[in-house]
């Protein structure tokens, strides 16, 4: 992580009034993630949580900034309502599904084609007690059937 990255963290919209706290979260993650092996449970928005490991840029970005993809995630939090259906195509480890279904209370379907990443989506849904509210599907979604090599 470069000094420029750290400066971007403290300039982030949700960190403007809490620069020291954002630096504290950064330092805590950098030290803690090196001391603990495996996944760490991170408490997030409205009681939601996610499992995060070193190197997971999107999730660690949420630790540093609150909402790593601020415009999109902020939009989701303001537009979705409890009971709405949220479909996450290419869910990755499920950050958007967690926001939609745990933080907001929507129902969800999460599509993730990569088997190991799909397992992480399922773990994150269980962590948030979303087993009954979110259907996780280990398939890709697209207009054509293609075969890819997954390494």
Per-residue confidence in pLDDT tens, the chain, 151 aa:
566 666 677 777 777 787 878 888 888 888 888 898 889 999 999 999 999 998 888 899 899 888 989 999 999 999 999 999 999 999 999 999 999 999 999 999 999 999 999 999 999 999 999 999 999 999 999 888 777 666 5
Residues in the chain: 151
pLDDT confidence of residue 13: 73
Residue-range domain boundaries for the chain:
3-137
Query: So what's the pLDDT on residue 3?
Result: 62
Owner of token pair 């400066």: 7
Quote the pLDDT of residue 10: 73
Q: Strand 85-89: give its sheet, edge to edge.
A: 85-89, 107-111, 134-137
Determine the pLDDT at residue 122. Answer: 98
Token readout for 107 is 């129902």
Cα→Cα distances 13→10, 19, 122, Å: 8, 11, 30
Q: What is the pLDDT, as a whole number, of residue 99?
A: 97
- Domain at 3-137: CATH architecture: 3-Layer(aba) Sandwich (3.40)
Extract the tokens encoding 67. Answer: 């909402």
Cα Dmax for the chain: 49
pLDDT at 9: 77
Q: What is the 3-state secondary structure (H, E, C) of 6-30?
A: HHHHHHCHHHCCCHHHHHHHHHHHH
């Amino acid at each position: 992580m470069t000094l420029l990255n750290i400066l971007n963290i403290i300039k982030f919209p949700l960190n403007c009034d809490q620069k020291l706290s954002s630096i504290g979260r950064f330092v805590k993650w950098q030290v803690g993630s090196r001391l603990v092996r495996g996944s760490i449970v991170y408490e997030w928005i409205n009681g939601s949580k996610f499992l995060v490991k070193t190197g997971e840029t999107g999730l660690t970005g949420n630790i540093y900034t609150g909402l790593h993809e601020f415009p999109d995630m902020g939009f989701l939090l303001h537009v979705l309502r409890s009971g709405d259906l949220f479909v996450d195509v290419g869910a990755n480890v499920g950050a958007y599904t967690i926001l939609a279904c745990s933080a907001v209370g929507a129902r969800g379907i999460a599509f993730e084609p990569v088997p190991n990443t799909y397992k992480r989506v399922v773990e994150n849904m269980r962590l948030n007690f979303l087993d009954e509210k979110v259907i996780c599907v280990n398939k890709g979604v697209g207009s054509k059937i293609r075969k890819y090599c997954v390494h």
